[in-house]
């Protein structure tokens, strides 16, 4: 029976399905931590819109926020992506094996 109950995986893929959120993840991967205003600066949207994207990433467990005084900083939490990578790895093996069979079939043709 197929397990359709994978809410963590659903949240991760849902969060990463948006190009703005992927850009935020990439920026956070390159820096130890960034303030919300630093994250928002290069993005072509309002600060409240950026905060909504950060909420989605935080809900998926991909971002952690920390408040120090009036400044809120965000950092990437990459560990939840391991579940997504494990799920994708199964399909990488499928495609590798399929391509290997195709290559063998092509080589066997006269």
Q: Would residue 37 count as lying in a domain?
A: yes
Note whether residue 106 is domain-resident.
Answer: no
What is the per-residue pLDDT for 92? 76
Residue 21 resides in a domain:
yes
CATH code (residue 42) = 1.10.10.10
Judge whether 84 lies within some domain: no
Residue 8: what pLDDT?
84
DSSP code, position 31: S
What is the pLDDT confidence band of residue 23, given thresholds at 50, 70 and 90? very high
pLDDT tens string 62-92: 999 999 999 999 999 999 988 888 888 887 7
Has residue 19 been placed in a domain?
yes
Residue 18 lies in a domain: yes
Q: Where are the alpha helices (DSSP H) in the chain?
A: 7-16, 19-30, 36-40, 47-59, 81-108
The domain of 35 spans 7-78
110: in domain: no
> What's the rounded Cα separation, in Å, for the pair 51 and 40?
9
So what's the pLDDT on residue 87?
82
| Total number of domains in the chain | 1
Residue 58 is assigned to a structural domain of this protein: yes
pLDDT at 3: 56
> 110 falls in which pLDDT band (50, 70, 90)?
low
d(CA 24, CA 105): 44
More confident residue, 100 or 40: 40
β 34-35/71-76 pair status: antiparallel
């Amino acid at each position: 029976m197929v397990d359709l109950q994978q809410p963590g995986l659903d949240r991760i893929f849902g969060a990463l399905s948006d190009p703005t959120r992927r850009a935020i993840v990439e920026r956070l991967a390159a820096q130890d931590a960034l303030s919300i205003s630093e994250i928002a600066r290069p993005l072509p949207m309002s600060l409240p819109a950026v905060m909504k994207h950060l909420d989605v990433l935080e809900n998926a467990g991909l971002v952690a926020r920390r408040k120090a005084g009036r400044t809120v900083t965000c950092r990437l939490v990459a560990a939840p992506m391991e579940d997504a990578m494990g799920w994708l790895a199964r399909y990488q093996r499928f495609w590798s094996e399929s391509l290997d069979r195709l290559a063998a079939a092509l080589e066997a043709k006269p």
